[in-house]
A and B are shown apart, each in its own frame.
Chain A
Amino acid sequence: RKEVEQDPGPFNVPEGATVAFNCTYSNSASQSFFWYRQDCRKEPKLLMSVYSSGNEDGRFTAQLNRASQYISLLIRDSKLSDSATYLCVVGLTNTGNQFYFGTGTSLTVIP
């Protein structure tokens, strides 16, 4: 079983739509959770950390469910510039330097 699993998509949504991505992780000892954005042929860039109480940054909302071991990312009012691959990342940071990456979910926002 993979440490982190994501639906690869692709998700094709119209501008202005709301889209949600989910990610599940297998290690219950995981302590840190992140969403990264990766544009084609570019490096991953941190979109937001995910906190236990959930957190919001503008049009982006992240949620963590430790009991079910999943993380979600909600994008409201999608923009063309949101088109990218979104990576779910889970860390075991107090026992070492293990970060587990999902393979990413591809999003294309259509005019």
Chain B
Amino acid sequence: SQTIHQWPATLVQPVGSPLSLECTVEGTSNPNLYWYRQAAGRGLQLLFYSVGIGQISSEVPQNLSASRPQDRQFILSSKKLLLSDSGFYLCAWRVQQGNSPLHFGNGTRLTVT
């Protein structure tokens, strides 16, 4: 069966510090991969998605970036965090074909202080 791992679970970082969140998927090949952010009391916002190694689409311009160095690895990064980057970050995967659903990792709760 497929599993998705996301870490760390919680993170407290000062403003201006770098960020690296990692997500890996097991049990499937060539998945679509996604990074979402959920701010307190708000809906999920798509940040990036990837349909293959090295292929990244950005949905919202901001100080975050994403990379997919391997088929089942997706990384979210920032060089300098802002207070507004605080939120709940969710990695997700889905099968590329058809109307398959998203499957989410456990999430990373980021607080920028």
Contacts and interface: CB of A to CB of B under 8 A. Distances in A.
Interface in A71-93: 87, 89, 91, 93
Contacts of A31: 99
Interface string A59-71: 0000000000000
A60 to B, nearest CB: 15
A25 to B, nearest CB: 13
A88 to B, nearest CB: 10
Interface in B13-61: 32, 34, 42-44, 46, 49, 51, 57
Contacts of A1: none
Interface residues of A, number: 21
Interface in A85-111: 87, 89, 91, 93, 97-99, 101-104
A43 B99 contact: no
Contacts of B101: 32, 34, 46, 49, 89
Given A97-B32, A97-B34, A43 B43 contact: no
A46 B34 contact: no
Interface of B: 32, 34, 42-44, 46, 49, 51, 57, 88, 90, 98-107, 109
